[in-house]
Structure 1
Amino acid sequence: MIRLLITDDDPFIRESLKLLLELDPEITVVGSCANGEEAYNFVQSNGNVDILLLDIRMPIWDGVETTKRIKKMFPEVTILILTTFEDENYIVEAIKNGANGYILKNIPHYRIIENIKAVHRGDILIHPNIAKKLADLLPSMVEPDISWDEYGITEIELNIIKEIAQGLSNKEIAQKLFMREGTIKNYISFILSKLNLRDRTQIAIHYLKKQ
């Protein structure tokens, strides 16, 4: 069961999302909050949140500030930003501070459910354009003259890295490379270890930095 906390300053959106998302038997909405400070206090008091679905623009603490504070104290909580394309700079800042991805407010509810399940599996949800902007803004993570061979990255692993940088999920990569999803997960663990990185977001940025 995925324990989800919804945070949005619009009560209509909160209630609509709760009703729609709980139609899926794998998701239970454990609470809803009107701003980031409420979300932080909820996580601190309850400790039963797997995923925080978080609006980017809110009073008191916006999505960026909330992400920063929650990831610092509760790194195990997965944060999925709820936003629009117009909020690109906010998206970049939220991901820099530990958000696991973002979804647009105008997508169908079944797509929101799919994306919630994807980040719960460990996937990242970042459009390639956002990943490239992150690569430009973040400090260099690698020496450009160090080849993939020197990291011990195999051809298969490099193919997986390229697909991660394009924003594909584990399932999509598995289908494209004709491999099992579990095998892709294992390869990603190897890649993270070899490159001394934390998550898929860093893999994408690492790849883009070397291009």
Structure 2
Amino acid sequence: MKMKVLIADDNSFVREGMKIILTTFEEFEVVTTVENGREAVSYCESHDVDVALLDVQMPVMSGVEATKLIAERTGTKVLILTTFDDDQFIQDAIRNGAKGYLLKNNDPERIRDAIRTVHNGHHVLQDVVLNKLASGLMTAREQEKAPGAGEKIDKALFTPRELDIMALIAKGLSNKEIARQLYISEGTAANHITSILSKTGLEHRTQIAIYYLTGEGK
């Protein structure tokens, strides 16, 4: 069965271009294209849509606002596909329930893979987006009122060293940088990461970062 995809973008050239790209892959059916967030929400509420590709800045209703309503009211999974990598857009979209945040300058195969990943219930974030998310998931004011990063996870599941490594992954550090900071070998760091993946059922370090930052890894 084909994945049903909605495309929301206020640029008609982008809408039609993305539709053409996606229809070259047999696994997708582009069920509609719309030009603002309100139309996207309305369509998802009344039709069966697997994945909604939403731009961030659109008239009438933004993609960030639409993400919240779609996530709350429907079973559609949202993948933000935009040219904007602004910190606030990223943070708001993820908080509102977006399963992925991808920039439009990716090649068609990368977009295809992202849609697959989101459809399967996992998160997908580009490195540049993950780094911005890790560096500013919450404002200072929010941090005073809400649990900090790492507070929502089941700490009893992990060793103290694993928790340290998860925190550093969430900050965007590589295995080499983690090893240097914790005074361990890269191989030891990799073994700890393998253990974290096994305990959580996650598949890669991006999901570890999201899990540590938000308490949700899939």
What is the TM-score of this pair, normalised by structure 2?
Answer: 0.68
Contact 2:8 2:36 in 1 (8 A): yes
What is the percent sequence identity of the aligned residues?
Answer: 35
Note if 1:78 corresponds to 2:81. no
Note if 1:59 corresponds to 2:95. no
Looking at structure 2, the residues matched to 162 and 177 of structure 1 have their Cα atoms a distance apart, in angstroms, of 14
Looking at structure 2, the residues matched to 70 and 84 of structure 1 have their Cα atoms a distance apart, in angstroms, of 21
Residue 29 of structure 2 aligns to a residue in which SS?
Answer: strand
Contact 2:7 2:33 in 1 (8 A): yes
Note if 1:133 corresponds to 2:145. no
Aligned to 2:212: 204
Aligned to 1:26: 27
- Structure 2, unmatched stretches of 5+, are 174-188, 192-196
How many residues align structurally? 184
Displacement of 1:87: 3.1
Contact 2:6 2:30 in 1 (8 A): yes
What letter matches 2:87 in structure 1?
E
Aligned to 2:107: 108
Summarize the Cα distance change of 1:164–1:16 in structure 2 as closer, same or farther, 3 Å threshold.
farther
Looking at structure 2, the residues matched to 2 and 81 of structure 1 have their Cα atoms a distance apart, in angstroms, of 17
Summarize the Cα distance change of 1:35–1:200 in structure 2 as closer, same or farther, 3 Å threshold.
farther
Displacement of 1:204: 3.3
Residue 28 of structure 1 aligns to a residue in which SS?
Answer: strand
RMSD: 3.6
Residue 6 of structure 1 aligns to a residue in which SS?
Answer: strand
Looking at structure 2, the residues matched to 9 and 16 of structure 1 have their Cα atoms a distance apart, in angstroms, of 13
Looking at structure 1, the residues matched to 50 and 164 of structure 2 have their Cα atoms a distance apart, in angstroms, of 30
Aligned to 1:188: 200
Displacement of 1:107: 1.6
Displacement of 1:188: 2.9
- Structure 1, unmatched stretches of 5+, are 168-175, 179-183, 191-198
Summarize the Cα distance change of 1:28–1:155 in structure 2 as closer, same or farther, 3 Å threshold.
farther
Looking at structure 2, the residues matched to 26 and 160 of structure 1 have their Cα atoms a distance apart, in angstroms, of 37
Off by >2 Å, runs of 4+ in structure 1: 84-88, 135-144, 152-167, 186-190, 199-202
Looking at structure 1, the residues matched to 5 and 209 of structure 2 have their Cα atoms a distance apart, in angstroms, of 22
Q: Computing the radius of gyration over CA atoms, which structure comes out larger, 1 or 2?
A: 2
